[in-house]
Chain A
Amino acid sequence: MFGYTGKNLKIDLTTKSFEIFDTDEVLCKRYLGGRGFGVSIISDRITKDPFSEEIPIIFATGPLLATPSVTSGRMSVISRSPLTNTVFDSSVGGRFGTSLKKAGFDYLEIVGMSDKWVGIVIDGGLVRIEDGTWASGLNTKQVFEHFKDKYSTAVIGIAGENLVRFASIVFDNGHYHAGRGGLGAVMGYKRLKYIAVRGDNPIQIHHPDSLKTAVKDVMRLLRASPAIYGEFGLHRYGTACLVDVIHAKRLEPTENFKKTFFEHSSRYSAYAINHNYKSISSGCNGCPILCKKTGKDEMPIPEYETLSHFGALNCNYSLEIITEANRLCNLYGLDTISTASTIACYKEISGQVFEPKGILQLIHDIAHRNGNLGFILGEGSLRYADSVGMRHLSMSVKGLELPAYDPRGSYGMALGYAVSNRGGCHLRAYPISHEILRKPVATDRFSFEGKARIIKIAEDTNAIIDSLTACKFIFFAVSLEEFANILNAVTGLTHNVQSLLEIGDRICRLERVLNNKNGFTSKDDDLPQRFFEEEGSSSKNVKIRPINRQDFLDARGRYYTLRGADKQGRIIIADEKAH
């Protein structure tokens, strides 16, 4: 099997046993890898509670991983989210995926629940479930220091141990995260503190020369892309490059989305960061973009969503506080978007005004579940807001807190957030690419015209990217046309754009079917009412109006038609055979 190892590892933490078995070729054909593998594997257990022995957590690699393909150093973690209750995948960079594949496995599936804290060590083909009690109570950095650089490691922090519903899994010295959806809490429930892996098996490539040519085509497009290699692009500034343009377009979520413009955001813009920290670029294995920026002592510099949500969303313009909040979230293993948004929700509901440093105390309290407040905020903004009768003030979809793009200034994003299978997520369809960054072409950001089809195709495309497992950023510059050539060169298959999109559609439909099984319908494919009732921060030139409810519902209806769903958002013809 070119591009695959042909072997997988399943570990049962209840019995402390494991088995190694062959990769199903039909699974590869129908779901490619990564996210596709994960949603297919979990499909027969998706109704199990996220906090149960039966629910699996899957670490899945893709066919391009550990090959000379461009930006293919990623992998996906898949389970059922304790925050949203949906099927949930998280794409993560770093070198864990590469190490897992080189250790000889296409995916790792973990089920069961240990009676005490454990860690998993995979050393080439050798697998060990070891006592992890030494690591319990430690922050992620302390665990990383234990393993140094000998292994690639996936670790949960105190938040995961305490089952905070938006606890993350932190990888490779704190630079990479399976950030969203509380997958760290799934590990925490299983009492799995860490996984360490290494390996050096080469991956077989079907046609190395064709791969070289295909990679060359991609590199040419990358160099032509302002968003990637331009003077303001990701290569130079990381995702912080978005602060200024989102600010200028007035879709910057401010004060728990009450406003869409924060006058102080230049204090934490890419320019300000560059001025304050002498940053160094790094990135995932095999990536030429190098979007990760680190400061002194390898301190991760906050990414766009973190900057904006610990900044504008919480009315804080101190770069120092944002950086410290980011550091704490990394140490405790917390998703920065959900953490910042839950705090902003609390601020609005409680009416409390506190110093920026108060943000840091709340992060600490949430991670440790300190007191009643720490406990309830650790449940996420929706459960918290619901508990005080203010559900409408949780700025979330399906319980997943919204990222840093206000939907009133990006109607594709409004639709994308609403119909996303994993909740309020910008990465399922990322319409910011065409509505703001004008790639591959610009679309009218204040119109739903044509957006249903755009969102559907973009979701399918991104499902493929997550299954290959490549990086979404590269698709600012290239298309599936170029990646089909890369995939074919690696695997010897004969894919083209349309055959890949068919697989993408299969993955997205299966995810929706799985959510339908857990009771999700059109009532969940919706936005907080604020966006339909309140105006954003308009200027003389740009009006940020409330979204017209009927226009939104019409667009959502069109999306359902294209997705093969009924008016309640339920898939009409399910893909019965998961794999």
Chain B
Amino acid sequence: MKRLIEKYLKKLEQQGLVNPKETVFIASDDRVYSNTRLSKSLVTIFDEMNINSLIIAKPVEPYKKIIESLVVSKDKVIIPQDCETRTFFHDFPVIEKVNKQSIIQALSKRKSAVSRDGRVVAYGMVSPEQAYINISSTFFSLFVKYFVDRINLKEAIPKAIYNLIKEIQPLNLKEGSIFEAGKALVSLRLVDSYFGNISFINDGLIHISQTGSSLDELEDTIVTVPLDMSSTNGIIASSEFSTHRSVYLNTDFRYIIHGHPPFTVIQSMLCDERDCVRGDMCYQSCKKERYFAGIPIVSGEIGTGTNALVNTVPNAMKQSNAVIVYGHGIFVASKEGFQQCLDEIIRIENTALMDILRTKRS
């Protein structure tokens, strides 16, 4: 347990989300383990909650200012509109104080919660990794919500925040392997926690990251699935396998990266359309042809179903090497290799970032 706590604390730090020294990470099997000395009430929280792990995270900048700004209002719940919140979190309760009772109350209903002092709490039911994923994704959703709300309300981005945000520097892959590309996506923060996926096709076989795999730890988590579906091994493939397969069937691309670059996601959610009959259902379908930096923006939910991105992304990729999915992320494909995918995803994210910082700052 100690080993897992250290591993995921380090990941949170590498993602630029928290300072491990100001974060409490607790995990339990039959007894409680932690990275720090715990108060009695926190030790006993596991007696009252059937959970495996708990994180109380104090964000570092720019997340600190962003989350503090989101909890200023008296709202008791924060409801971001991005895909991760909609699908997995539903909403984030706001707790007045971080104490045992408020944590139990909030986390008995939701996977994570935000406190008025800007801290974020989340739990894992199965493993410490799950608590890590919940914290990391909560940060992502709150980050996206902050920018989307500000821009929609035509409020300027404070200097104190935009000064903290930097362009992504290009990165050359040495070998261009799937493992190296996965690590690059994580180190450049183009994916959050374990979301995002990556694949290539060779000789009728699709090699794709498994569902719930960390893209910087792909060595044992690539699954090979025949394009002709003659094996059901793919049941453990990424939830976007069908989209990857459909792209390979309908185009000449041989490499695909799906990432969640935050500013690209934010851009996808900015729409000037007024009196739109879709209301807040843009993630399901949109009749308007939308582009950002020449890249099509499509609707689509995760996985399968009538409104799923498996029905929108492959079509758009017949005309474009990249497609942005509303409130979700981006698919980038190449015929040559992962370097081209990486270059393109960086280009689009930097364009998105610069557009927001240049035009929306105070």
Contacts and interface: CB of A to CB of B under 8 A. Distances in A.
Contacts of A498: 48-50, 104, 108
A450 B86 CA distance: 30
Given A457-B50, A460-B50, A225 B239 contact: yes
Contacts of A443: 126-127, 129
Interface in A275-291: none
Nearest to B235: A232
B90 interface: yes
B87 interface: yes
Interface in B210-249: 210-213, 221, 229-239, 241-242, 245
A207 to B, nearest CB: 16
A271 B110 CA distance: 39
Contacts of B108: 496-499
B213 A442 contact: yes
Given A223-B301, A224-B302, A229-B304, A244 B87 contact: no
B159 interface: no
Interface stretch (A35-43, A73-81, A394-402, A433-441): A433-441
Contacts of A48: none
A481 B232 contact: no
A243 B232 contact: yes
Contacts of A456: 50
A496 to B, nearest CB: 4
Interface in B317-347: none
Contacts of B128: 450
Interface string A235-261: 001001111110010000000000000
Contact of B233 (A248, A449, A450): A248
A226 B302 contact: no
Contacts of B4: 449-450
Contact of B213 (A229, A231, A438): A438
Given A226-B236, A241-B232, A439 B211 contact: yes
Interface string B245-275: 1000000000000000000000000000000
Nearest to A454: B126
Interface in B55-108: 86-88, 90, 104, 107-108
Nearest to B51: A457
A487 interface: no
Contact of B235 (A241, A266, A497, A501): A241
A530 interface: no
A453 interface: yes
Chain A contact patch, size range: 35 or more
Given A457-B52, A498-B50, A505-B50, A437 B30 contact: no
A567 interface: no
B299 interface: no
Interface string B176-220: 000000000000000000100000000000000011110000000
A119 to B, nearest CB: 41
Contact of A242 (B48, B194, B235): B235
A431 B88 CA distance: 21
B235 A245 contact: yes
A566 to B, nearest CB: 14
B88 A441 contact: no
B173 interface: no
A27 interface: no
Contacts of A248: 233
Contacts of A440: 125-126, 130, 212
Contacts of A427: none
B271 to A, nearest CB: 21
Q: Which of B27, B108, B109, B194 has the most CB of A within 10 A?
A: B108
A99 interface: no
A223 B245 contact: no
Given A223-B304, A484-B109, A245 B236 contact: yes
Chain B contact patch, size range: 35 or more
B210 A438 contact: yes
B114 interface: no
A414 to B, nearest CB: 16
Contact of A558 (B30, B126, B130, B229): B30
A233 interface: yes
Given A221-B87, A224-B303, A561-B30, A441 B127 contact: yes
B52 A225 contact: no
B105 to A, nearest CB: 9
A208 interface: no
Contact of B29 (A220, A270, A442, A450): A450
B303 A223 contact: yes
A14 interface: no
A437 B235 contact: yes
A373 interface: no
Contacts of A271: 229-232
B102 to A, nearest CB: 14
A449 B3 CA distance: 10
A441 B48 contact: no
A573 to B, nearest CB: 14
A269 interface: yes
Contact of B127 (A226, A243, A450, A497): A450
A534 interface: no
Interface in B265-303: 301-303
Nearest to A229: B304
A231 B234 contact: yes
A337 interface: no
Contacts of B1: 449-450
Contacts of B241: 226, 230-231
A229 B210 contact: no
Interface string A478-504: 010100100000000000111101100
A542 B194 CA distance: 24
Interface string A59-90: 00000000000000000000000000000000
B43 interface: no
Contacts of A126: none
Contacts of B30: 452-453, 557-559, 561-562
B301 A231 contact: no
A248 B49 CA distance: 37
B88 to A, nearest CB: 7
Contacts of B212: 438-442
A358 B177 CA distance: 51
A211 interface: no
30 contacts: A223-B301, A225-B303, A226-B234, A226-B239, A226-B241, A230-B239, A230-B241, A231-B229, A232-B235, A242-B232, A245-B232, A245-B235, A271-B229, A271-B230, A271-B231, A271-B232, A437-B235, A438-B213, A440-B212, A441-B129, A441-B133, A442-B210, A450-B127, A452-B30, A454-B127, A457-B52, A460-B50, A497-B108, A497-B109, A562-B29
Given A245-B236, A481-B110, A496-B109, 18 more contacts: A223-B304, A223-B308, A226-B234, A229-B303, A230-B304, A231-B241, A231-B245, A241-B232, A245-B235, A440-B125, A441-B126, A442-B129, A450-B1, A457-B51, A484-B109, A559-B30, A562-B29, A562-B30
| Nearest 6 A/B pairs, CB to CB | A496-B108, A558-B30, A224-B302, A223-B305, A224-B303, A232-B232
